[in-house]
Structure 1
Amino acid sequence: MEKKARLFSVLRYLLLLAVGLLLLYLAFRGQDMDRIISDLRHANYFWVFMSLLAVWLAHVFRAVRWRMLINPLGFHPKLSNTYHAVIIGYLANLALPRMGEVTRCGVLNRTDKIPVNALVGTVITERLIDVFCLLVVTVLAVLLKFDLISGFVLERVQGMFNSSVSGTIAFLAVLALLFLFYLVIRYFFRKYKFRLLRWGFFRKVINLLNGFRKGFTSIAKIKNHSLFWIYTVIIWGFYLLASYFGFKVLESTNFLDLGVAAVILALGSLGMAAPVQGGIGPYHWMVSEGLTFFGLSREAGLAYATISHTSAQILLILALGAISLLAVFFETSKKTRKHEQP
């Protein structure tokens, strides 16, 4: 069974990587590579640094905010450990999509002995908040560039009405089935609760779900809700600045404003959310397509996507991740030596 599971994991990894590379190929196919390379050579690397600084500060405040969610659970990890866990989580996402959420919980469990199941609940809460923030950014982008975006959408909505209606019906049917499944599970649990609790595996599942619940509801118990949401605004504000500073890197994108940055932030976030390692492929395709809405050539859009993704999502994470891995190694080694001393 273990060999089959490992084989399935490897095949899944290769399939997702192949999808990302295919999208990357489709994005660059038929484009003027000489022009793209020329744009990259003439990039203003001061603004690359400013963009990376904004991204790094967003990661720092994400660690601060996550710590606020953990504290109500009765644990108070050091901010440095929380920060290293966040960065190592991003590093893990470069290897396997969505692996970072579990990895950062594992890192903090190792450094501060916090139960992983409770930490996973806080990460789920964080992800739901990020989805909400992404929706807010998307709405902001639409409002700022309403004339352009509404015209683009209307062109594509016409002729797609029937398929969208059928898709909505299918979505509602899936929701109905999930709700029915929930009712059935709830009925059997209430009827056979005491019998099920005799089963060791079932007790472990219940304990795991209770840990998720505690972590998930930790947001209601934080001491300063206002500060929590201020940190959230700061995180996404730095993401927006990183997108805007990225425009200053290339001469072809230098004229774009914060409104366009909001649009590209929304599209880039969707590309990064795709189940592909590090968003390679989906990010380039979505961002380059989005920039064509504003009159840029596909080559200019790809140059922007390439330099922003390579610098902020790969090189920065590799550098910070290496530092955080070393810091966690020394931290855990120091604690191990203390426990071993008589």
Structure 2
Amino acid sequence: MMRIKGIWAGLWKGFAVIVKMRGKGLWLCYTILLWGSYITALYCAFLSFPLTAEMMARYGIAALAVCFVFTSISMGVPSNGGIGPYQWAMMFGITLFSGGISGLTREYALTFANMLMGVQTLVLIIQGLLTFGCIALSKRHK
């Protein structure tokens, strides 16, 4: 019980820093934009595939929220870039809502999760290369 209280006190102390820091409005804006981007990307991915789109039509935003929360928590598991825990969390979230949707199996959910992780990784690599190029160009002009 003391350990849980210690963890809770540490979390509270970490969040309390936000109240005292400079630029907290901008920080809050960036935080909301970042998490909004994650949710929007997952929403678009769900609507891009027929069975997950049917799942969204049947269960609504609850299916999206459950998968989003599970995958967000999975990123805290120590692994290389969340590879493994992310897919398992997505697969678990999708299979919770697969009842009555023919073809929405664990294999489909795992394939969806792998494809989503692959595309996200590819986009991250492209963004990194573009950033590298922009930094090189900005240094050249100075």
- TM-score, normalised to structure 2, is 0.72
Residue from 258, 262, 280 that aligns with 2:61: 258
Displacement over 4 Å in runs of 4+:
216-219
Query: RMSD across aligned C-alpha pairs, in angstroms?
Result: 2.9
Shift, 1:300, TM fit: 1.8
Counterpart in the other structure of 1:279 = 82
Counterpart in the other structure of 1:323 = 130
Q: Structure 2 vs 1, CA of residues 171 and 297 (structure 1 numbering), >3 Å: closer, same or farther?
A: farther
Question: Which residues in structure 2 correspond to 1:79-228 (within 5 Å)?
Answer: 169=1, 171-172=3-4, 175=6, 220-222=21-23, 225=25, 228=27
Percent identical pairs in the alignment equals 26
Shift, 1:265, TM fit: 1.2
The one of the two structures with greater contact order (alpha-carbon pairs below 8 A, sep at least 6) is: 1
Given the alignment of the two structures, is residue 240 of structure 1 paired with residue 39 of structure 2, yes or no? yes
AA of the residue aligned to 1:321: G
Question: Which residues in structure 2 correspond to 1:9-88 (within 5 Å)?
Answer: none
The superposition leaves residues 39-70 of structure 1 with CA deviations (integer Å, 9 ceiling, x where unpaired) of xxxxxxxxxxxxxxxxxxxxxxxxxxxxxxxx
Please tell me whether the aligned partners of residues 63 and 93 of structure 2 are also in contact (alpha carbons under 8 angstroms). Answer: no
Q: Which runs of 5+ in 2 are unaligned?
A: 11-16, 99-103
Shift, 1:289, TM fit: 1.1
Q: Distance in 1 between matches of 2:30 and 2:125?
A: 25
Q: Structure 2 vs 1, CA of residues 333 and 287 (structure 1 numbering), >3 Å: closer, same or farther?
A: same
Shift, 1:221, TM fit: 2.4
Q: Distance in 2 between matches of 1:233 and 1:285?
A: 26
AA of the residue aligned to 2:34: I
Please tell me whether the aligned partners of residues 272 and 282 of structure 1 are also in contact (alpha carbons under 8 angstroms). Answer: yes
Q: Distance in 2 between matches of 1:323 and 1:251?
A: 32
Q: Structure 2 vs 1, CA of residues 233 and 306 (structure 1 numbering), >3 Å: closer, same or farther?
A: same
Q: Distance in 2 between matches of 1:320 and 1:232?
A: 19
Counterpart in the other structure of 1:309 = 117
Q: Distance in 2 between matches of 1:219 and 1:254?
A: 43
Please tell me whether the aligned partners of residues 253 and 300 of structure 1 are also in contact (alpha carbons under 8 angstroms). Answer: no
Given the alignment of the two structures, is residue 298 of structure 1 paired with residue 106 of structure 2, yes or no? yes
Q: Structure 2 vs 1, CA of residues 219 and 309 (structure 1 numbering), >3 Å: closer, same or farther?
A: farther
- TM-score, normalised to structure 1, is 0.33
Shift, 1:266, TM fit: 1.1
Q: Which has the larger radius of gyration?
A: 1
Q: Distance in 2 between matches of 1:259 and 1:241?
A: 14
Q: Distance in 1 between matches of 2:90 and 2:20?
A: 33
